[in-house]
Structure 1
Amino acid sequence: MAASPKKVKPAKEPGSADTLTDWRHTALDARPGFLIRRLHQIHVALFVEECAPEGITPVQYSILTALEQMGPSEQIALSRAVGLDRANTADVIGRLVERRFIQRRVSKTDKRKKVAELTDVGRALLGRLEEGVARAHERTLAALAPDDRKRFMAYLALLVETNNDLSRTPVGGGAKKSDEDA
């Protein structure tokens, strides 16, 4: 005789006494980590679909836009700006250099450091991506009313900011671009 499936409880109200011990018995689709991961997967799929002609990934796009906003920057500063570990940042930068979207050089003040800079080809790419990226963001949030979108984004920002230091790759961290490298 087959065992009957275990009944899964709906998520408890956050902050209730049972939330710290009851997640195991909560349905996957009622858990914040699961939902955040799924939403990320969905957004990446939308981004890739909208930006398919350019063959660019969301992480590559983040590096390019960080360079556009920060100007020429050391790789460690880019790593901290986009929340990506140094090794992966270097790999992404290498791929972007190969495609001529950015250029990389040794720092004028510290030969151990590399400085990345957006090229004209990279700037043109960002211009071509603008509409597709906007559609991907809009499609990700489309199920929410405009006021709910603002509230959702504010909650996301609060959760990320509050927990930033717990990440393997915290965003920020005081890394600055070198003035002489700008």
Structure 2
Amino acid sequence: MAEQNRPSEPPPRFSVRGRAAIPTRLVRSTVPVGGGRSVLSFDCMKPLLALFILLVLTGCVIFPHGEWVAPPASGRVLDGDDHQPVARAKVTRLIEAFDRKRVVSTDAHGNFDFKKETHLRWLPFVCYAATPIHYRIEAEGYRPFITNLYGGGSFSHGRQPHELGQILLQKARE
């Protein structure tokens, strides 16, 4: 009779027999827990491991690459008639292979200097041979002077500077 006075409780959701059957059903299931391969399985990690090894071996540097070196250059610009220095003459160094152009001006004594240039870049070909470097000297009242020298390249390290010596400019005829 005491049980009749207790408030009615909802029936239990699972019976003892039903609870014992749950692990058996999970073991017999053909679908793995998680719905497929584990994210940490070796099969899933193979592409990531290959990518990691590739990045480490290449050093994350574009390939092929190289350091291209342009040698230092110096010279002196003089008047062709009286051998006096030509001040403020414009000296241009053009390296066509890399579309590089540098411009300096002569000082009061007609001297000019280009520093050695190094440039790390992607190279479609490795440049074993020296490449043409053009120098153009221009001054007001004088005809331009152009010279073609060879130097630089991927492996020269700028060891042989371009000594242009004395450049005699001829006056422009009007």
Tell whether the structures are fold-level matches, with TM greater than 0.5. no
More strand by share: 2
For the pair shown, which has the larger CA radius of gyration, 1 or 2?
A: 2
TM-score by length of 1: 0.18
More helix by share: 1
